[in-house]
Amino acid sequence: METPLSPLDFARRARRLYAGREAVVDGSHRFTYREFFERCDRWSAALQKIGVKPGDRVATIAPNTHAHLEAFYAVPQIGAVIVPVNFRLTAADFAYILKHSGACVVCVHADYLDAVDSIRNQVPGVEHFIALSGRKAGWIDYETTLASATPDFTPAEVVETEMIALNYTSGTTANPKGVMVTHRNTGFNIMGHLMHTRITAADRYLWVLPMFHANGWCFVWTITAVGGKHVCIPKADPKVIFETIIREGITLLCAAPTVLISIANAPEELRKQAPRGVRVFTAGAPPAAATIERVEGELGWEITHVYGLTEVSPIVTVSEPRPEHAQLDARARAIIKARQGVEYLANAEVRVVDDYGNEVAQDGATMGEIIIRGNAVMKGYYNDPEATAKAIRNGWFHSGDAAVVHLDGYIEIRDRWKDIIISGGENISSIEVEGVLLRHPAVQEAAVVGLSHEKWGETPQAFIVLKPGTETTPEALREFCRDNLAHFKVPHGFEFITELPKTATGKIQKYVLRGGRANMAKQ
C-alpha cells in the first residue's frame, strides 16, 4: 500500500496531534493549530468558491505574516499551486512573474497593493486580486472573506509528482526562471530537516528567512509537521529579532550569512540580553568561518550550515557535526562548519566532478562542479525546456558551484564558477579572500570580485563595509591579507562603501559591483 508523499500528509498528522498547541504568533494574533487550520480550510473553501481548480496558480506577494503562512496549506490542499513572489521586486517584475506563471489569483500584503494595482492592466490572466491586509477599491478583503466562509472545501487528490509550488529564481542577469517543485520534492526536504536538525514540538521558530525564498527552505511545513510554533516578524531587523527572541523564547531560526553578520553586530545591550542555546541554520551563500566563530562564541548560539538551491527544493547537504569535532578549538570547528558538508539522508546524491564527469580527488584542493540527482531535484523550469535541458544533463542537475572535497568527504564551495577570479593563470576563490578579510577587527562585510586587467587578465578587488566606530586603511588591509594569503590572492584595490548590494535573500550581487567599478580595473 502506498500513499503520496506530501507536506499535506504531515499537516494531517499535526491536525490530529497538536490541535490545542499554539501554532502561530504574529504581532497581536495568536492561533492554536485548531484555529490555524480552520482559517486555512476557510480560505481553501473561499478559493474554490471563486473558481480556483486543481493546477491553477495562486500567487502571494507578502512578508512573513500568518496570512502568508496560511496560503502554503490552503492553496495546495485544493490541488492548486502556490507561487510565492519576492516582494522586494519591482512592479514590472511582478507583472512578468504573474504572466509567466499563469496566476489566476494574486494575494497581496498592504505594502504592495499600490505596486500591483499599477500593473493590473498588464496581467489580464489574473481574475481575482486579494488584499491580505489593508484595503483598496476593487480588491477582495482577505479577513472579511475568511469570516464569511465555511471551512467546508473539497480536498484534491494529491499526486506526489505534481507541483505544490512554483518558485522563481532571483533573475539577477535575466528574467527569473520558474522552478517546478513537487509534493515529493518538499516531502523529502522536510524529512531531511527532521532527521538532521533535531526539531521538535518544543521549538519556537522565528521567521527571519523570507517565506517566499524556496518556500522558506520548506520550514513553512517542517515546523508544523512536529507541532512547533511559528513566530512571524515582517523583516529581518536585528532589534526586532533580538526583542522577539527574548519575548517569545525563540529556540530556532534560519538566516543567510549577511543576516548573521547584522545579528553579530547588533548593539551590545541587545546581544547581552539574548538567551544562549538558540539554534541557527544558515545557507543561501557560503558563510565565513569568522562569522560562525563570532556568533557561537559571543552569543552562545549553535550554527548549522546547510547547502542547496531553489532547484533542489532547496537543501541537499549539511555540515554535520561529528564527535571528533568537539575536540577541536573554536576556530577549527568554525572552519569545518563553514563547509557545505555531506548529503542529507535520502534527499539526493551529491558529487563534485571535473569537466569529464569524473569525481575529483578528496584532497581539499582539486576543484570541480557540484552536481546533484535524486528526490530533491526539481521537475524542471516551467515553460522553459531549453533552460531545463541545460541544467539537467545525463540525469544530473548541474549547480554551477565550484567546490573541493576534503579527506573526510565534506564538500566545500570555493566559488560560483562565474565568480572565480583567474589572475595570471591562477585561480583565486573570492570566498577565501572574503573569509580572511572578515577576520579583520574593523571589517563588518566584504565582497571580492574580479575586474579585467590588461596584464593579468583579472585582478581581485575588495569592497569593504566597516563596523560602526572603526577605521582602517587600504594599506592596512593589504598587509593583513598578505599575512594570511598567498600574495597573488591579495586584492589589488580596496574600496570602502556603506552597504553591499544584495538580493532579497541576502546574497551579495557581485555583478553590480563588477559593473559599477569596471573603470577601476587599470588602477
- Round to whole Å and give the CA distance between 213 and 236: 14
Same domain, 492 and 351: no
Same domain, 125 and 249: no
From 152, 170, 185, give the residue that closes a domain: 185
Q: What is the CATH number of the domain that holds 498?
A: 3.30.300.30
* 6 within domain boundaries: no
At 178, is the secondary structure helix, strand, or coil? Answer: strand
* 202 within domain boundaries: no
Same domain, 302 and 400: yes
Any idea which of 8-22, 258-272, 313-327, 367-381 has the lowest mean pLDDT? 258-272
Same domain, 388 and 505: no
The one-letter code for the residue type at 151 is: P
- Round to whole Å and give the CA distance between 6 and 308: 20
* 133 within domain boundaries: yes
Q: What does DSSP assign to residue 298?
A: I
Q: What is the pLDDT of residues 117-155, one digit of tens each?
A: 999 999 999 999 999 999 999 999 999 999 999 999 999
Q: Where is 241: in which H helix or E strand?
A: helix 238-248
Q: Which domain holds residue 471?
A: 420-520
Same domain, 277 and 373: yes
* 7 within domain boundaries: no
**520: pLDDT strictly greater than 50:** no
Q: What does DSSP assign to residue 110?
A: G
The residues with which 351 forms a beta bridge, in sequence order, are 371
- Round to whole Å and give the CA distance between 255 and 236: 9
**395: pLDDT strictly greater than 90:** yes
The answer to whether residues 185 and 231 touch, using CB atoms and an 8 Å cutoff, is: no
What sections of 76-141 are H helices per DSSP?
91-101, 113-117
- Round to whole Å and give the CA distance between 4 and 188: 12
* 16 within domain boundaries: no
* Cell numbers standing for residue 311: 532547484
Minimal CA–CA distance to 438: which of 508, 519, 518, 523?
508
Give the pLDDT confidence score for residue 172 in this predicted structure.
52
How crowded is the C-beta side of 303, counted as CA atoms within 13 Å?
A: 35
Minimal CA–CA distance to 280: which of 301, 266, 309, 257?
301
Q: How many domains does the chain have?
A: 3
How crowded is the C-beta side of 172, counted as CA atoms within 13 Å?
A: 15
* 212 within domain boundaries: no
Q: What is the CATH number of the domain that holds 344?
A: 3.40.50.12780
Give the pLDDT confidence score for residue 504 in this predicted structure.
67
From 373, 391, 416, give the residue that closes a domain: 416
- Round to whole Å and give the CA distance between 463 and 356: 35
At 495, is the secondary structure helix, strand, or coil? Answer: strand
- Round to whole Å and give the CA distance between 197 and 279: 9
pTM more than 0.85: yes
Same domain, 261 and 351: yes
* 131 within domain boundaries: yes
From 123, 152, 185, give the residue that closes a domain: 185
Same domain, 425 and 369: no
Per the model's pLDDT, the better-predicted residue between 95 and 453 turns out to be 95
- Round to whole Å and give the CA distance between 421 and 489: 9
* 198 within domain boundaries: no
Same domain, 429 and 515: yes
At 262, is the secondary structure helix, strand, or coil? Answer: helix
Same domain, 138 and 66: yes
Q: What is the pLDDT of residues 475-486, one digit of tens each?
A: 999 999 999 998
The answer to whether residues 169 and 179 touch, using CB atoms and an 8 Å cutoff, is: yes
Burial pattern 357-384, b for ≥16 Cβ within 10 A else e, equals: eeebebeeeebbbbbbbbbbbbbbbbeb
Same domain, 94 and 37: yes
Same domain, 487 and 508: yes
Give the pLDDT confidence score for residue 173 in this predicted structure.
55
* Cell numbers standing for residue 489: 590572492
The answer to whether residues 443 and 495 touch, using CB atoms and an 8 Å cutoff, is: no
Q: What is the pLDDT of residues 6-36, one digit of tens each?
A: 999 999 999 999 999 999 999 999 999 999 9
Give the pLDDT confidence score for residue 518 in this predicted structure.
42
Same domain, 434 and 412: no
